[in-house]
Amino acid sequence: MLRSAAITIIQRGLGFRSDLSDEIISALQEAQRTFELGRSLPWFLKEEDQTLTATSGIADIALPTGFLREVDGECLHYTDSSTGERNFLEKFIDLNRLKQTLDNSTVDPGKPTAYYLRKASVAIYPERDASYSLTWSYYKSADALTSDIENAWLAYAPEAMIGFAGMSVCEDIGLSDGAMKARHNRFKERHARGWAALFSEDILREQPNYPLHMGSRL
């Protein structure tokens, strides 16, 4: 669904209005920011088997543009060219502890063994003796709705986006009369249905061909 189509649907839900386009665009952008921070992320934001080049030396490596977080179970790794063995780097959540564990003053440069995510970069240790092509999967922010495009959220979860944005615009206009309260409630229900369907689909994508056993996560 194009951004313009989402705007038209929200305008209709607001009482067949033809204005407020800028406000609706802002609300759609707010919805995306909200959905992509501090929540479970859907499959359609995954960037799978992406390459991160760890150049020789100790300098941090810039995170990919739009990086949100790693995909669980698909952390940084590389294939040893001499043995064909896949080597996974250990993730640390405390940079001081990582440095103490792999003190670069006593560890010779060599193959990467550990990493730490910083604000906009990845710290990889120990110092690399050469450049390494690392592979991982991560979640990436969808394209920003700054123009009339269909981004991933409008392609796969338009109801959640429209519902959230519609609620926001209703609240900005004010809920002082019964008609606006009713419109707000309809947008709220639309968002709830869209959000539930989105993550039901996420779970259902995992189930086919996966053997279930007593105690398995359904």
pLDDT by residue (tens digit) across 158-171?
999 999 999 999 99
Is pLDDT above 60 for 34?
A: yes
H/E stretch holding 100 = helix 95-101
Lowest mean pLDDT among 2-11, 43-52, 148-157, 206-215: 206-215
d(CA 67, CA 124): 17
| Whole-angstrom distance, CA of residue 169 vs CA of residue 187 | 10
Q: Residues 107-135, buried b or exposed e (16+ Cβ, 10 A)?
A: eeeeebebbbbeeeebbbbbbbeeebebb
Residue 90: strand, helix, or coil: strand
pTM of the complete model: 0.87
Which whole-number Å values give the CA distances from 109 to 58, 104, 112, 123, in the listed order?
9, 8, 9, 14
Tens-place pLDDT, residues 77-117: 999 888 889 999 999 988 888 887 776 555 678 899 999 99
**Residue among 58, 53, 70 nearest 102 (CA):** 58
